[in-house]
Structures are given as C-alpha cells and as structure tokens.
Amino acid sequence: MQERERPNLRARLAKKELLVAPGVFDGISAKIADQMDFEVLYMTGYGTVASHLGLPDAGIATYTDMVSRVAVIAGGSKTPLIADGDTGYGGLLNVQYTVRGYERAGAIAIQLEDQEFPKKCGHMLGRRVVPIDDMVDKIRVATSSRDDSNFLIIARTDARTTLGLDEALRRAEAYAKAGADILFVESPESIEEMRTIGRTFDKPLVANMVEGGRTPVVDQKTLEELGYSIAIFPAFGFLAAGEALRKVYTHLKQHGSSVGGDVPLYKFSAFSELMGFSAVAEFDKTYGRN
C-alpha cells in the first residue's frame, strides 16, 4: 500500500489564520470528527489515556500504548493528526524512538513537553519541569530524528503554573532556538498573559482551550488577535460524551429501558455506515459464500 503524502502543516500555518483542532481520543471520536471538514485533528493525551486505559493522564501510559493509538486514529482518518507525545517517554534515546514511531504511525506533528516524569495533565497543579537544558537536548534530538521535515515538533513548557510566566517565556525561547517548529506555553491564567505570549514570539503558537481549565476559553477572533496559530480543544469532545453517557446510563438504571430517554442518539444505520459496515457488505457480496 502506498504511503500517504504528509500534509504541509508549516505552509498552512504561514497563512496566519487560526487552525482549530478538535480533541479526539478513540476510533469513534476520530471517525466523527473526520466527517466535519476540520483541517487537522488533535489526539489528546488526557482523553486517550482515559478512553484506552481508564486511567488518569499521569505518566502511566507507555510509548507502546500511545503510538498504537496514533496508528489507529491516523490510519482511520483522512484529516491530518497532531498527536500528544507527553515527555517522549523517557530519556533522549526514548525521544528519538518516539518521534520516529509517531511519524511512521501517520501523525503530522508531535507535541513534547518539559515536565518531569511522571507527568501530569497540563491544567493540574503540582507539575514540575526538568532543567531547561534537558528539554533543549530533547528538542534537538527530536528535530534531527524525523525523516520528513514536514513532520513538525511542538515544544510545550509547563513552567507557568509553578515557576511563573517569565520562566515559561524564557524556556519557550530556548526551545525555539533549539529548533522547535511550534511553541506551546501551557496554561496561561489570563487574557493578558496570553497576549504577552503572542507578542513575544514570531513562531506559531498553540492555545490550549480546556473547558474548566486554568486558561480562559475565548472565541476564534480573540485567539487570532492574541497571536495564536493553533487552538486545540482536547476536552470538549470527551466532556460532552461523558455527560451524554452519564445521562443515558442514569435513565437506564432508573427505568430499566431506553424508552423515554431524552438524550439525542446517533441513528444506528448512520453509525454503522460511519464504522464501515457498507464496505463489509460489499466484501461479502464479492467474496462471501451463500
């Protein structure tokens, strides 16, 4: 099978129009988002670990866990995928292995962060970061390990929450000089801080829009005015799915039936089509035995 040509995310970011990336976390969420004509999807670490393992995003998932999820989501989607690579799952050799694995699995960009291992979700308290030189080395290894220059490296710093904005800016600048293609200053705590980040850098910037998180969730126009290039919405999908599931399971527990449930449902026939059952039917027509 011929390998798909990797989309040129760098060229798209040069247009200076905000790129909106919905968070996907499993095969179903990816299939649905893939139908919506987004330009890119974002594989959320939080949601993927929760969906795949039923565990918190706290450094428990391994490289093997996550690269297999990249392959499932990227392989089942037409829309290009940016994927969360956590800390690179270890030392410098692990970072090299992770970058090459994510690239082979079909992502167009990998996000790497400067937290100590075990890491935590970027909107939780108590996050600690590695020495700046350690992360600089990781970025240098990451950029030199990719086979395709169109596979981009996103450098995220989690320094803001514990060490303050100035340290986060200093780190992001160092990561840019080390070769990161995109910068991600995690969890600024006000619009003014977001504006400062936007004014400080001339590289593409990621805004992490987490409903209920530490950063203000603002509209598309405001993000563009603040200087951001990519807005990821990692939690929007799984929070909505979680609430819908809570409601339908509560109804089922209370009434012993789905009759009378008031949560909108995807039509079973349409969902089966989404999952590819029409292709199965065609296969059976061609190769099946009557």
pLDDT level of residue 260 (50, 70, 90 thresholds): very high
Domain ranges in the chain are: 9-241
CATH code given to domain 9-241: 3.20.20.60
pLDDT at 125: 65
Q: Is the pLDDT confidence value at 170 over 50?
A: yes
With contact defined as beta carbons under 8 Å apart, do 66 and 86 qualify?
yes
| 231-251 core/surface letters (b: 16 or more CB in 10 A; e: else) | bbbbbbbbbebeeeeeeeeeb
pLDDT level of residue 15 (50, 70, 90 thresholds): confident
Point out the least confidently predicted range of 49-53, 59-63, 134-138.
59-63
Q: Is the pLDDT confidence value at 121 over 80?
A: no
pLDDT at 150: 94
pLDDT at 3: 57
pLDDT per residue as tens digits for the range 51-62: 999 999 888 899
Residue range 243-251: mean pLDDT, rounded = 97
Q: Is the pLDDT confidence value at 120 over 90?
A: no
Tokens 């670490």: give the residue. 45
Nearest to 184 by CA among 166, 203, 167: 203
pLDDT level of residue 1 (50, 70, 90 thresholds): very low
pLDDT level of residue 288 (50, 70, 90 thresholds): confident
What are the distances in angstroms from CA 94 to CA 55, 122, 131, 269? 22, 21, 18, 44
Residues in CB range of 127: below 8 A, 6 or more apart: 115, 119, 120, 158, 161, 162
Q: Is the pLDDT confidence value at 123 over 90?
A: no
Residue range 101-127: mean pLDDT, rounded = 84
pLDDT level of residue 95 (50, 70, 90 thresholds): very high
Residue range 275-284: mean pLDDT, rounded = 92
Tokens 């690579």: give the residue. 85
CA distance 152 to 149: 7
Average pLDDT value over all residues in the chain: 93
Residue range 185-204: mean pLDDT, rounded = 96
In this prediction the pTM is 0.93
Give the percent of the chain with pLDDT over 70: 95
pLDDT at 6: 75
